[in-house]
Structure 1
Amino acid sequence: MINILVFLGLLGALEIISRLTFPEFKDNIFSETKTMNINYFDGDFHGYQVRVPNYQYEFREDIPTVLIFGDSITGGYGTAYEDIWWRKLENFLRIKGVDLQIIGIAGYGNNTADALRAIKAVQELSSVEGIKISKIIYQFNFNDILPFSSSDLEATALVNTDLFRKFSKWRSKHLDKSV
């Protein structure tokens, strides 16, 4: 019993020392509506979780759509919505007179296999539901330089993707409570 109390006391002391030593983790909050203390809103684009500026946001079907596939960079992880690179591009193009909407279909840790699967699914959706896709852009990221062939990635993605997503949601809900 005394060993458990000493162990818990040491862990508590390490937690306090870490918080005092590493202030960059102060206010580093993760929840269903915050990522790194930045407001985060999820939207739905034909079954895909996408980043939107607020819960009332609706996608327009009367203008051309550019889809960007990628990982957490594309999703704007830890970034305010207005500071995501593709959102800045959309605003710049609007200033230049080009009216279109850009939608980032992203998954944290996604690689080429994940993007290929999503691109194929969205192409099928566009023909069925009449989505006007004018361009598809793939954002190459660090996850893409993993030493696997595309067939290995596709086989691994089919097996691990659902489990990884479920674990990530569970971890976000139950374990990311520090600070």
Structure 2
Amino acid sequence: MRILIFGDSITEGFCDYEMGGWINMLKIYFWKKGAKFRVTNLGISGDNSEDILKRFESFQKAYNHKYQNKSIIIFSFGMNDSLLLKNGNNDINIDEFKKNIEKLIQISKDNSLISKIIFLTNTNIKR
């Protein structure tokens, strides 16, 4: 089973020089337990929900045949969407954010690539 994790710099493991981020810790955990999961980190610094949606659409078109019904998809993002710009607005407004998540869910439902989809957030911010 493959676990594909799409996200932002937190997903990527940016600035975690000791452990390499939470995904690397997940890989180590599975390895120690002898679990047969292949974990792929698809986090990119600076990505917001719009960027991840574009990448996921391309990814599923390219790899649908290869990983059919064999993948768990984890989406972990949100910090860059909530980034406050100089004009006082967020980089991605809440309605766009919601639509992007709904599109990710719909693509996932329509896709034979995925056996399970998980959304998570790992950063608490005040809104």
Other structure's SS at 1:99 match: coil
CA contact (8 A) 2:2 2:39 kept: yes
TM-score normalized with structure 1 length? 0.43
Partner residue of 1:150?
96
Alpha-carbon distance, 1:121 to partner: 1.3
Task: Assess, with a 3 A threshold, how the Cα gap between structure 1 residues 135 and 81 changes in structure 2: closer, same or farther.
Answer: farther
Partner residue of 1:116?
53
Alpha-carbon distance, 1:103 to partner: 1.3
Partner residue of 1:74?
11
Which protein has the bigger helix share? 1
Task: Assess, with a 3 A threshold, how the Cα gap between structure 1 residues 144 and 134 changes in structure 2: closer, same or farther.
Answer: same
Alpha-carbon distance, 1:81 to partner: 7.4
Alpha-carbon distance, 1:144 to partner: 2.5
Alpha-carbon distance, 1:85 to partner: 0.5
Give the whole-Å Cα distance in 2 for the aligned partners of 1:81 and 1:134: 28
Bigger RCO (CA 8 Å, 6+ sep): 2
Give the whole-Å Cα distance in 2 for the aligned partners of 1:123 and 1:73: 22
Give the whole-Å Cα distance in 2 for the aligned partners of 1:118 and 1:81: 28
> How large is the Cα RMSD of the aligned pairs?
2.6
Alpha-carbon distance, 1:102 to partner: 1.3
Task: Assess, with a 3 A threshold, how the Cα gap between structure 1 residues 131 and 70 changes in structure 2: closer, same or farther.
Answer: same
Give the whole-Å Cα distance in 2 for the aligned partners of 1:81 and 1:122: 30
Structure 2 gap ranges (5+) = 83-89, 101-127
CA contact (8 A) 1:81 1:87 kept: no
Deviations 1:38-95 (A, max 9, x none): xxxxxxxxxxxxxxxxxxxxxxxxxx22111111111111223743111111111222
Give the whole-Å Cα distance in 2 for the aligned partners of 1:67 and 1:78: 21
Q: Percent of aligned pairs with the same residue?
A: 27
CA contact (8 A) 1:70 1:140 kept: yes
Other structure's SS at 1:123 match: helix
Give the whole-Å Cα distance in 2 for the aligned partners of 1:81 and 1:115: 26
Segments of 4+ moved more than 4 angstroms: none
Number of positions where the alignment pairs a residue of Structure 1 with one of Structure 2? 89
Partner residue of 2:67?
131
Other structure's SS at 2:80 match: helix
Alpha-carbon distance, 1:97 to partner: 2.6
Partner residue of 2:40?
103
Give the whole-Å Cα distance in 1 for the aligned partners of 2:33 and 2:43: 26
Structure 1 gap ranges (5+) = 1-63, 155-179
